[in-house]
Amino acid sequence: MSVDGWNTVLVLGGIRSGKSEFAESLVTDAPVVRYLATAPEGDPEDTEWATRLAAHRVRRPGSWTTEETAAEPRRLADVLESAQPNETLLVDDLGGWVTVLLDPDHQPADDVATIAELAEAIRTCAARVVLVSPEVGLSLVPTTPLGRAFTDALGAANRAVADACDAVVLVVAGQPAWLKPAVAPVATTGSAPAAIAPVPTVTAPSATSYTDTEPTPEVQLPDVLTHAPPVVPNQEPGNPWAAPTMALPMVATGLVIQPGMELPMPDEYAGPQAVDRLATLDVPGAGLGVLDRVVGFAAATQGTATPVAWGSVRVLLLRGDHAGGASAGATLDDSARRAAQARAGRGALARLAAESGASLQVVDTPAAAAMEDQPALTPGQVESALRYGWRLAEQAADAGVQLLVLGACGVGTEAAAAAVLAATAGAEPQAVLGRVITESGEIDDAAWMIRCAAVRDALHRTRRSPRGAKDVLAELGGGDVAVATGVLLGATARRVPVLLDGPVGLAAGMISRDLAGQARHWCLLADHGGHPAVRLAADVLGLTPLLDLRLDLGEGANALVALPLLRSVLALAAALPVHPSLAGEEPDAAPDEPDHTDPEFLEPEPDGPGPATTGADEQPASGWRAG
């Protein structure tokens, strides 16, 4: 059974009821989908049947893999038994499977035993499975022996599979009616798969405090805040922002988050093509310089050689405090104050988000225990935090967000990130821990030494512990790093790029690298901010900072400062035409010389009699001499 409580679903429906389309919607955004086609090819002269099969093939995304099981009906059970937890299988449909099962080429055979074998394979399957089957129980009893044998066998298969599945839905005229469980699962909106788990009603404040332990029901995501920029005096305010996006009662995709996940990669051809195109644009100078990487990144993540500027941007501000020596030199009240400022539209982050037209979501993550004394989180909290971050990314993707910005405001985050880097990259804590700056702007060396000691003691405590991604999160990372890791993985699965800024985001990048190596290719680092941990993590992840402004406005705010520049670069690259010499056009002609015979340029005649001027080298007082 999958992590959200549901693993297998049977989708029933009549002919042309929409059952296949509904089943496909359940797995649309799963990162790894194996489509198991059970129907035989049929008579080559049956064009209508061939058209039906072609329509099914056209609907499948190119990222899906298709396997034919029509040659041997027992192979379907073998595929289910060998499936991996990170896979999603779509079986379409059991009607075709029964047709092959009753084929004389496969007789004599024990049909009842084969159906029971399939049902048992569904019960024990580690992957997520969605099966499609025609519902024949409402039709007339066929008049032919072969027709009766088919309906009997398919009816028996549907009953056995329905009993083995966690959920059963009947699709009638495109409308799903959930038959099992008794509480209807809630379907999400947009392009995300319909969720197949009931969602308990949980009232959430503007930012949900997420301190999950094993196991707990799904909670609503925090509200999305939109703040208007401050009005400039003597200037009328602009158009009001759109209404805030409501927190959707979304649930996890059911994907087991574990090492080796196969998530999508950016387009490997669009990025280089976009950069090559920049050399053809009609610009007076040498071009965009190092900012051409922005164009290449946007092109690869958008899948086009002519990317557009990111329109809808969302900032995720993660608040997660770290106890013990990690928070030396800071007060726990400081993070609460920063989060309250962001919710109220005050402070640097909220103001910059408003000026950039970005929405803001404040997320309270589980507080981490003192890592030098005990694990920062329990394994259950790590699993819940990863799934919670994934859901945050899914909610953003469903709302049409084109770019996520990761921010953090917890205390002790620098020490936690240093511990993660030491565990994953072999860094020395003192080399990646930045100086501690007090509220009065002074350097607190004593607090810095306490943080170094806390990281050192935590590494000594865990010296014999496994160094897997989830182990590092549990022992050292904490809730904010775990949720940020889930955000990176979920954004990668939904093909949403992420703008990183600060130690929490980069530490999450290091962890996500060990869970899904594709995640780092969807990340962009605007500025390292002079932080040593960010520098090292960026080097390990292969992320080259675009700028070197050395801003220190708080994690997330630095990226928002750079965002208008990045948008301008993309807008310019998309709008500029190709240079005329490369487009095959004639260059614009030089302006014509003035026509000296034009009356406008003739020397005015004198108003009265006067001496005649006959000298060839005498010049008039004004105007041009007539030629």
Residues with catalytic roles? 555
Task: State CA 489 to chain mean position distance.
Answer: 7
Q: Which of 526, 513, 578 is nearest to 555 (CA)?
A: 526
Structure tokens at 388: 């919670």
Burial of 482 (0-12, 13-18, 19+ CB in 10 A): buried
The b/e string for 254-268 (b: 16+ C-beta within 10 A; e otherwise) is bbbbbeebebbebbe
Handedness of CA 292, 295, 300, 305 (dihedral sign): negative
What is the spatial distance between Cα 327 and Cα 416, in angstroms, rounded to a whole number? 9
Residue type for position 439: E
3-class secondary structure for 5-45?
A: CCCEEEEEECCCCCHHHHHHHHCCCCCCEEEEECCCCCCCC
Element holding 396 (H helix, E strand): helix 379-398
| 167-172, strands of its sheet edge to edge | 65-68, 33-37, 88-92, 128-134, 8-13, 167-172, 175-180
Pairing of strands 175-180, 167-172: antiparallel
What is the spatial distance between Cα 534 and Cα 552, in angstroms, rounded to a whole number? 12
Q: DSSP class of residue 205?
A: -
Q: Which of 598, 603, 596 is nearest to 620 (CA)?
A: 603
The answer to whether residues 123 and 164 touch, using CB atoms and an 8 Å cutoff, is yes
Number of residues assigned to the chain: 627
- Outline where 399-502 has alpha helix (H): 413-425, 429-432, 445-461, 469-472, 479-493
CB atoms within 10 A of CB 235: 7
Handedness of CA 545, 546, 548, 553 (dihedral sign): negative
What is the spatial distance between Cα 625 and Cα 627, in angstroms, rounded to a whole number? 6
Q: DSSP class of residue 3?
A: T
Q: Which of 406, 418, 210, 439 is nearest to 326 (CA)?
A: 418
Residue 287, CA atoms < 13 Å, CB-side half-sphere: 17
What is the spatial distance between Cα 446 and Cα 294, in angstroms, rounded to a whole number? 40
What is the spatial distance between Cα 96 and Cα 101, in angstroms, rounded to a whole number? 9
Torsion angles phi and psi, residue 385, rounded to 5: -65, -40
In the chain, the N- to C-terminal Cα span, in Å, equals: 97
Q: Which stretches of 122-258 are assigned E, i.e. beta strand?
A: 128-134, 167-172, 175-180
Tokens 């990340």 correspond to 523
Radius of gyration of the chain (CA): 32
Torsion angles phi and psi, residue 227, rounded to 5: -110, 135
Structure tokens at 605: 């005649």
Q: Which stretches of 98-196 are assigned E, i.e. beta strand?
A: 128-134, 167-172, 175-180
